[in-house]
Amino acid sequence: MSPQIILTAEGKVKLEQELVELKEVRRPDIIAKIEQAKEMGDLSENAEYHEAKDQQGLMEARIAEIEEILKKAIIAGANEQTGSISMGSKFVVKDSMGKEKELMIVGYNEADPANGKISNQSPMGQAFHGGKAGESVEVETPRGKAIYKIVKIL
């Protein structure tokens, strides 16, 4: 059995939009480029043709990847009823320097730490899972232990 892919509702929508863009905008554009390049004659030395074919291959691979992700995906949402952090939860934390930041627990394929989206499989995601507002959480980082206070769950 293939590994489970967990997406937030937001992540699913983002992938669906990318798929539409690839199929309805980029695919016809690349096909047109290939046709134009074919009209130039000898394909063996036609750089435009080979570039367009390479782009087509990469795009088709990405389309297949997105379709597979969407087929296997389980949509997880925040569980507001428990008042604790879970998949899909958005929350605000304060670090030891007093700096606040908003985070969200997402599946590994949606993770974007620079934008506050942390993987449920990461040490940070695992440390926050189940946490409640007002609690402090200790996270093992490459620089050592970091302590965060959960300010609020959004």
pLDDT of residue 80 exceeding 80, the answer is no
| Domain range enclosing 51 | 5-75
> Same domain for 34 and 60?
yes
| Count: domains in the chain | 2
Question: Of the residues 20, 42, 75, which one is the last residue of a structural domain?
Answer: 75
> Same domain for 143 and 124?
yes
With contact defined as beta carbons under 8 Å apart, do 102 and 90 qualify? Answer: yes
Question: Of the residues 75, 94, 126, which one is the last residue of a structural domain?
Answer: 75
Looking at residue 42, what is its pLDDT? Answer: 74
CA distances from 117 to 36, 45, 65, 122 (A): 42, 45, 21, 11
Q: pTM for the full model?
A: 0.70
> Same domain for 9 and 65?
yes
The mean pLDDT value for 65-75 works out to 90
Sign of the CA dihedral running 133, 138, 140, 145 = positive
Q: How confident is the model at residue 65 (pLDDT cuts 50, 70, 90)?
A: very high
Q: Which CATH number is 35's domain given?
A: 1.10.287.180
Question: Of the residues 41, 75, 109, which one is the last residue of a structural domain?
Answer: 75
Q: How confident is the model at residue 1 (pLDDT cuts 50, 70, 90)?
A: very low
pLDDT of residue 78 exceeding 60, the answer is no
